[in-house]
Amino acid sequence: MNASVTGALLLVGRKLLTALIQLLVIATLIFSVMYIMPGDPVLLLLGADSNPSPEAVASMRSQLGLDQPVVSQYFVWLWRALRLDFGVSLANGYPVSRYVLSNLPRTLELAFAAIIVATLIGVPLGIAAALKRGSLRDTILTSVATIGISVPVYIMGTMLVLFFSLKLGWLPASGYTDISRNALEHFRKLALPALALGFGLAASIARMTRSSMLEILGRDFVRALRAKGMSERRVIWQHVLRNAAIPIVTIIGLQLGNLMGGTVLVEAMFNWPGLSTLLVGAVSARNYPLVQGAMLAIAALFIGINLLVELLYSLLDPRIRRKRT
Amino acid sequence: MTSRTLGLARSQPAFVASLAVLAIVLLMAISGGWLAPHDPFTLNPQAVNQGSSASHWLGTDEFGRDLLSRLLIGIRPTLIVALGATVISAVFGSLLGIAGAYGRPWLSFLIMRAVDIMLSFPPILLALLAVGFWESGVLSLTVVIGVLYIPHFARVAHSATLQVTRQEFMEAEHAMGASVRRVVFTAILPNILSPLVVQATLTVAAAILLESGLSFLGLGIVPPEPSWGQMIGTARGYLGQNPMYVIWPSLLLALTVLAINVVGDRLRDILDPRLREE
Amino acid sequence: MLEVRNLSIAFKTRDGLKSAVRNIDFTIGPGEILGLVGESGSGKTITSLAVMGLLPPNAVVTSGEVLVDGTDMLQLGSGELRKLRGRHIAMIFQDPIASLDPIFTCGDQIIEAIRLHETVGKAQARQRAIELLDKVKIPDPERAMRAYPHELSGGQCQRIMIAMAVACKPHIIIADEPTTALDVTVQKQVLDLLRGLNEEVGAAILLITHDLGVIYEVADRVVVMYSGDKIEEATTADLFNNPKSGYAKALIDSMPTPGGQHDRLPVIERDALGNVFSVRPEPRVRSSNVAAAPDANASPLLEIRDLVKSYWIKPAPLAMPVEMRAVDRVSLSIAPRSTLGLVGESGCGKSTLSRAVMRLYRPDAGEILFKGQDIASLSEGEMRPFRREIAMVFQNPYGSLNPRKTVAELVEAPLVIFGEGTATVRRRRVAGLLEAVGLPATAAAKYPHEFSGGQRQRIAIARALALNPSLVICDEAVSALDVSVQAQVLNLLKDLQVEFDLTYLFISHDLSVVEHVSDTVAVMQKGRIVEYGSAKAIFANPKEAYTRMLLDAVPTIGSDRVGKGGA
């Protein structure tokens, strides 16, 4: 018992450490990418059109610490980033962290809603297809899933807008309302982006659920359970599904990359003021500190969710939870 | 021959239809400009956002340009980017993946950790960063997307190679004193080809989606040169006036990706040794 | 009790139904142990699945009935069938670890099995489960209850499966190759357990196996199957003393048996009419005129001195790694043109030893003298000339041949690696080698998957001989093969030894096979050689307790059948 508790703690610790190292490497990458990118942030900050004097440029440069050696810039930047200080936006001098902190929960909410939508649709459909392998139902469901993974999110989103907003007028086409101001409106505006984002994910979850169900159904122990006289329903619900849950959770985790990528497009098309919107705007305006802050926040979000998935995964699978002693 | 084709069409209608779709798409990419009924770049302020008519079969865009003509030439940059990126990622990704599975421990540690870190970041964000700061165009898109999908290939090649290296014939090769080059090119590569081919089709589809996504955001193919993703992005502003403007490129793009995915699924079934044995 | 009448099963294929089992009849009386024996593809497993009503979806019963206490299992609906399964008929499978659900503890699974058929409380079921584990002689039942299947050994998992099978006191237990995946000493324990339960619980057992030794020791009556047909049914004593069918006789003959001193094993052949009989082929005539016999006084071809190879493993996640000596100060020597048999149970280090000699690993300490030169710490480049001299034949005839190459490419690979000969010369050499291992010349252009297991092993042997090596290491080279095919390959190895002046290091877990082929024998246990000497001496008069235990555990035809009532 004691050994398994320390084992579990050790596992959590190791995963945490890996995540932190990953984050550090990504932070370094983000910093260096900014550094090799063309364009002078100082000129941008002062406004290149206003033709600033060399003295003004120099004083701004030292104010931003850009006259320091790269390595010390890097460590200063890293140290500040650790305290969530990403500097100020070049556009208006507001602290970047304020933007990041206000937009991060919105992206999280969107992604979370999409995962829920996708899981609620994808898992049952995948199970339904696997249980009747080769039937008409299976053929239809797998075809729909193949279509689902082929339609890009922005086309899905556009079609949803065409249908639900323009044709039926049921839901708003885009925008964001704060939940404290009008909760109903908030969720009405969340519906379409979450659906658009969740649809493709639902399709891949359905495909993966189906194939892992089929894989487990073919294992020896399923035959052994039937030989014990267990009802088919119990075999499926008690044993097959719980075994299949492990790869399904993995695929949901692996799909997070696509999901975060999808938020870029979905946020842009639905004017959802999340991290991606922030990032796309900052990239177009070459607002370096804002880009760095947003990138780092997205990476941290992604790594954090991945960590959660991995911990959930090892919770589900005793073979990982308890290494053979 | 014909009877076999017919038989295939009957047993695998989706597969055959997808192959036909891909053939048509390829034809468009090669000779789209020649097929176009109008000059895809001629502006016509008198006929903006029109529906379909005798002269403009699919209608016109916001500058009065012929939609059909623009659609016909709009696949070429997308396809060049997707295929070019796939070649880049396949070559470098496979080599890295094999090295990661078969190389010395420190090398494989380095490669696979780098791959993990690259994979832990959505490709579109990195692409966004790259094309946001550098000049956007077919070449830079190809290179950027190609580089971004290297880790995906490396991961597939890595796990496939690991499976191969666990087989006894690898030990047999070593026991015979085979050189590293011989092992890689005659023992590993032929045996991991199937998953790599499947991954290549997936990568073509993903690269098309990524390029069109960037173009949709206005960060990909630069106007006035059209691409389907970019057309969808522009058309979104005219949903009310001309809904067909957005529907045509959406349909074509989705159909193309669907066809690639169907072919990829089928390839996976054909190439999977477990299914082939029986 | 259980009566199978006129049972025929076919598989649905694209070309229509393909018959798998034809007109099988047999009955099992209460308390009886019926052996169902046959080689792979004989249809014995599919028959047992039909009895349980567990046929895969692509199999159909084309005729016959399966009567359990008078009710035809094949006519029952799924609900009624379910009530019989587990309660009336229970089943034990070949791969015990895979047959348990990996994500539940063993205890939960036994409790579940009990509560499926009996309305008892959880605590009571738990108590019963512990009693059952006690009955199947699991050490520390409480711990086994909490363990997940992957935390137990194969033998322990099989005991759990047996505990589950007897949980509801079934009338019939079907055991499908219950000991095939287990070591010989564990096999003995499991067989003893099954026999004991058979007497105690009174359940009839249908024992399905390919191993005649197991049948001999355990079964009361035997049904012999061959490619879907029942060939013979007899009491065990009758079958072994006086087999009526040619096939059963051939099958019994082709098994190498301890004490049976024959130079060559009989093999099974079929004539044009499909009749099966056994022949003892004559040794192949040696082409060269020098009569070479193993010479014990000559300087050894291979000598191993104090060889050590360790692995470092962590006993617990937080603990310091400890040294696990897979090969622990092993010393051996093999005289030219002789065969050293290395025998031991799984995990004893015999494979590690062979791979160290092959220099697939670098040993941690000790010497490997090949023709007097130490190759233990040579670099890969320095090792190269020795790779011509030492060849290896692997266990798995399916895995050791690159599936993407033709047989010609596979066999000529060593020649190509050493840049030997032109394409024409190599082609001629390949043809000669294929002939030597008894494969048709047309085989050269084919791919490995077009061949059976035995034929693939011939290909692997041809490849090993390509560069005229002096030492051939056979690592479980015949373990994956059916008995009759195994006999052919063993005969071939003997022929080739004479023809090519070969020295063999022959590694196997199968004592009968080792006795048959070896001049000297080394018994390995936990990384050490516990006994080493001439084959005759060791098998006739084993000195070490471990060797005796191994020998006792081998189910042997002709030995005393201990603990067997006169049923």
A221 with C82: Cβ contact below 8 A:
no
pLDDT tens readout for residues C251-274:
887 777 665 555 677 777 666 556
CATH number at residue B150: 1.10.3720.10
Q: Which residues of C touch B (CB under 8 A)?
A: 355, 358, 360, 380, 383-384, 387-388, 390-392, 394-396, 399-405, 413-414, 417-418, 449, 460, 463
- Name all domains of chain A by residue range, CATH numbers in brackets: 96-324 (1.10.3720.10)
Lowest mean pLDDT among B2-11, C369-378, C543-552: B2-11
Q: Sorting pLDDT into bands at 50, 70 and 90, what band is A49?
A: low
Residues of B in contact with A255 (CB under 8 A): none
Q: Is residue B185 part of a domain?
A: yes
Q: Is residue C29 part of a domain?
A: yes
Average pLDDT over every residue of C79-101: 86
Q: Is residue C245 part of a domain?
A: yes
Determine the pLDDT at residue C271.
63
Helix residue ranges, H only, C167-211: 184-201
Q: Is residue C222 part of a domain?
A: yes
Q: Are A270 and A154 in contact (CB under 8 A)?
A: no
Q: What is the CA radius of gyration of chain C?
A: 26
- The torsion of the CA quartet B148, B153, B159, B162, rounded to 10 degrees, works out to -110
C535, pLDDT greater than 70? yes
**Cα C120 to Cα C520: distance, rounded to the nearest angstrom:** 59
CA distances to B186, B277, C226, C545 from C40, rounded to whole Å, are: 33, 17, 9, 35
The CA-CA-CA angle for residues A45, A49, A51, to 5°, reads 85
Q: Is residue C81 part of a domain?
A: yes
| Domain count along chain B | 1
Q: Sorting pLDDT into bands at 50, 70 and 90, what band is C315?
A: low
Lowest mean pLDDT among B51-60, B183-192, C254-263, C321-330: C254-263
Q: Is residue C451 part of a domain?
A: no
B232, pLDDT greater than 90? no
Strand partners, C472: C391, C504
Q: Are C215 and C247 in contact (CB under 8 A)?
A: no
pLDDT tens readout for residues A223-265:
888 888 888 888 988 899 888 888 888 777 777 767 877 888 8
B120 with A258: Cβ contact below 8 A:
no
A38 with B134: Cβ contact below 8 A:
yes
Closest alpha carbon within chain C to B174: C360
Determine the pLDDT at residue C342.
92
B275 touches chain C (CB under 8 A): no
Determine the pLDDT at residue B275.
44
Lowest mean pLDDT among C33-42, C153-162, C182-191, C254-263: C254-263
Higher confidence at residue B43 or residue A144? A144
**Pairing state between β C339-343 and C365-370:** unpaired
B249, pLDDT greater than 90? no
Which residue range forms the structural domain that includes residue C111? 2-253
Determine the pLDDT at residue A300.
84
User: Please, what is the end-to-end C-alpha distance for chain C in angstroms?
Assistant: 16
Please give, rounded to a whole number of angstroms, the shortest distance from the CA of B188 to a CA of chain C. 9
Largest CA distance in chain B: 78
What is the 8-class DSSP label of residue A237? I
Determine the pLDDT at residue C295.
57
Higher confidence at residue B277 or residue C308? C308
Q: Is residue B8 part of a domain?
A: no
Q: Sorting pLDDT into bands at 50, 70 and 90, what band is B9?
A: low
**Cα C475 to Cα C392: distance, rounded to the nearest angstrom:** 7
Which residue range forms the structural domain that includes residue B251? 60-271
CATH number at residue C27: 3.40.50.300
Lowest mean pLDDT among A48-52, A175-179, C529-533: A48-52
Average pLDDT over every residue of B67-71: 81
Closest alpha carbon within chain A to B232: A155
Helix (H) or strand (E) holding B152: helix B150-165
**Cα C499 to Cα C307: distance, rounded to the nearest angstrom:** 31
Helix (H) or strand (E) holding C124: helix C122-135
Determine the pLDDT at residue A323.
44
B276, pLDDT greater than 60? no
A55, pLDDT greater than 70? yes
Q: Sorting pLDDT into bands at 50, 70 and 90, what band is C341?
A: very high
Helix residue ranges, H only, chain A: 2-36, 41-46, 54-64, 70-82, 96-131, 136-150, 153-160, 183-217, 220-227, 232-234, 241-254, 256-270, 275-285, 288-316, 318-321
Average pLDDT over every residue of B266-276: 66
B120 touches chain A (CB under 8 A): yes
Best mutation site among B12, B115, B118, B129 for testing chain A: the one with the most A CBs within 10 Å? B129
Please give, rounded to a whole number of angstroms, the shortest distance from the CA of B129 to a CA of chain A. 7
Determine the pLDDT at residue B277.
38
Determine the pLDDT at residue B150.
93
Task: Kindly tell me the burial class for residue B276, based on how many C-beta atoms sit within 10 Å of its own C-beta (0-12, 13-18, 19 or more).
Answer: exposed
C463 with B172: Cβ contact below 8 A:
yes
DSSP C497-549: HHHHT-EEEEEES-HHHHHHH-SEEEEEETTEEEEEEEHHHHHHS--SHHHHH
Of A6, A232, A324, the CB nearest to C78: A232
Lowest mean pLDDT among A82-96, A137-151, B150-164: A82-96
Determine the pLDDT at residue C523.
92
Of B121, B132, B246, the CB nearest to A158: B246
Average pLDDT over every residue of A48-64: 71
Q: Is residue C453 part of a domain?
A: no
A27 touches chain B (CB under 8 A): no
Helix (H) or strand (E) holding C34: strand C33-37
Residues of A in contact with C93 (CB under 8 A): 220, 223-224, 227
| Domain count along chain C | 1
Determine the pLDDT at residue C460.
92
Amino acid residing at A256: L
Determine the pLDDT at residue B242.
79
Return the number of other C-beta atoms located less than 10 Å from residue C533's C-beta.
Answer: 16
A265 with B217: Cβ contact below 8 A:
yes
Determine the pLDDT at residue C291.
46
Determine the pLDDT at residue C275.
64
C402 with B169: Cβ contact below 8 A:
yes
A279 touches chain B (CB under 8 A): yes
C563, pLDDT greater than 70? no
A321, pLDDT greater than 70? no
Closest alpha carbon within chain A to C85: A229
B257-267 as b/e: b if 16+ CB within 10 A: bbbbbbbbbbb
C310, pLDDT greater than 50? yes
- pTM, entire model: 0.80
The mean of the pLDDT values for chain B is 82
Q: Is residue C209 part of a domain?
A: yes
Q: Is residue B42 part of a domain?
A: no
What percent of chain B shows pLDDT beyond 90? 13
Q: Sorting pLDDT into bands at 50, 70 and 90, what band is B272?
A: low
Q: Sorting pLDDT into bands at 50, 70 and 90, what band is A36?
A: low
C217, pLDDT greater than 50? yes
Q: Sorting pLDDT into bands at 50, 70 and 90, what band is C76?
A: confident
Total residue count of chain B as it appears in this document: 278
Average pLDDT over every residue of B73-91: 91
Please report the ipTM that was assigned to this predicted complex.
Answer: 0.78
Q: Is residue B193 part of a domain?
A: yes
A246 with C93: Cβ contact below 8 A:
no
DSSP A30-70: HHHHHHHSSS-HHHHHH-GGG---HHHHHHHHHHHTTTS-H
pLDDT tens readout for residues A163-216:
887 778 787 777 777 777 777 777 888 888 998 889 888 898 898 888 888 888
Q: Are C366 and C307 in contact (CB under 8 A)?
A: yes
Kindly report the backbone phi and psi dihedral angles of residue B67, in degrees, each rounded to the nearest multiple of 5, phi listed first.
-65, -45
Q: Sorting pLDDT into bands at 50, 70 and 90, what band is C504?
A: very high
**Cα B260 to Cα B203: distance, rounded to the nearest angstrom:** 10
B180, pLDDT greater than 50? yes
Q: Is residue C385 part of a domain?
A: no
B72, pLDDT greater than 90? no
Determine the pLDDT at residue B74.
84
B236 touches chain A (CB under 8 A): yes
C314, pLDDT greater than 80? no
